[in-house]
Amino acid sequence: MTDNNVHADAAILEAAGEELPAKPTRPMLLVIGRVLRDPVGLLGVLIVTVMVLAAIFAPWIGWQNPYDLSQLDFMDGRLAPGSQSMSGVTYWLGTDDQGRDLFSAILYGLRTSLMVGVLSAAIALVIGTAAGLTAAYAGGRVDTLIMRVVDIQLSFPPILIALILLAVLGQGVDKIIVALVVTQWAYYARTIRGSALVERRRAYVDAARCLALPPRKVVFSHILPNCLPPLIVVATMRVAYAISLEATLSFLGIGLPVTKPSLGLLIANGFNYMMSGDYWISLFPGLALLLLIVGINLVGDTLRDVLNPRMQR
């Protein structure tokens, strides 16, 4: 040790038994692994997976296409769960007033609800991320402008904004997606701005700037990926919120057209018959909606715990 052969620096490290770090695992795989090891997370993932698969494969699982009026038999209207149809099929969840098999209708409704929820959340995510990153990176007046718009937007109840928009735009799948995006983007913008401001002050961003990397590389390769964890949590929760908001709007009759019934619309349809004892027309779509939203929220909760640096170790 007295001979200071500096070239032996590396060799010394090895000799001292500083082991090679173990093979790394991709962080994303680690997160998925942790979610699945958590009983609550596992339950949420199972619920969501089953429901998503059911929605995707609805045409093959449900034996009836509830939108094909030629397949509906008006004579089968409002049959109780477990009843036999004229043609000898058992309606396990009963039928609605137009003779739709509720099981098939729920599968197709799930499809619409999930599609609208995920699509609107994805579009809102992109818009909100762009706005939030711009605000955080540009700072100053741009930041003030964007964030005041966000503040104003968030001070109104989302349902009010959606109601006004739909009153102006009219009904339709595209219209409701627009309405949901408008009510949602601000949440993403605020979340990502918060984390981007934190990340921007970290030394690795200084290092990237010192290395004369262009701003777009600093923002998209360095800041954005490190803002993703909270964004993923918010996005998960927001999908659930978008689905329930869409159901609310459809229930109120200003969401989706009757020709494309989502879960909300199914609930609304059956609501008229609740008092006459035909509970199943509203109940089963309602349960499906509840299960879906609870499932997504369980996944979101677990993700938040797993991704929260303070909860680790």
> Could you list the residues that contact another protein (CB under 8 A)?
1-2, 4, 6-7, 9-10, 12-24, 27, 144, 202-204, 206-213, 217, 221-222, 225-226
Closest approach of another protein to the CB of residue 54, in Å: 35
Minimal distance, residue 305 CB to another protein, in Å:
17
Of 174 and 206, the one with the shorter C-beta distance to another protein is 206
Minimum gap (Å) between residue 24 Cβ and another protein:
5
Angle between helices 173-200 and 140-155 (to 10 degrees): 130
What one-character DSSP code corresponds to residue 35?
H
Least separation in angstroms between residue 278's CB and another protein is 54
Count Cα atoms within 13 angstroms, Cβ side, for 155: 6
Smallest distance from another protein to CB 28, Å: 10
Instruction: Name the residue nearer to another protein (CB basis): 120 or 153.
Output: 153
Which C-beta is closer to another protein: that of 21 or that of 88?
A: 21
Distance CA 302, CA 219 (A): 28
Helices (H), the chain: 9-15, 27-37, 39-56, 58-61, 102-138, 140-155, 158-169, 173-200, 203-210, 215-217, 224-251, 263-271, 280-307
Min separation Cβ 296 and another protein, Å: 26
CB of 18 or CB of 68, closer to another protein: 18
* Residue 86 phi, psi (nearest 5): -60, -40
CB 293 within 8 A of CB 240: yes
Residues 238, 116 contacting (CB under 8 angstroms) = no
Q: Which is nearer to another protein, 212 or 311 (CB)?
A: 212
- Give the chain's end-to-end CA distance (angstroms, integer): 38
Distance CA 88, CA 66 (A): 18
Beta bridge partners of 84: 90
- CB of residue 26 vs another protein: minimum separation in angstroms? 9
Name the phi and psi angles at 136, rounded to 5: -70, -45
Closest CB to another protein among residues 12, 164: 12
CA angle 173, 265, 122 (to 5 degrees): 40
Task: Tell the smallest beta-carbon distance from residue 15 to another protein (Å).
Answer: 7
Q: Decide whether 209 or 304 has the Cβ nearer to another protein.
A: 209
Which residue, 168 or 203, is less far from another protein as judged by CB? 203
- Tell me the C-alpha distance between 289 and 273, whole Å: 19
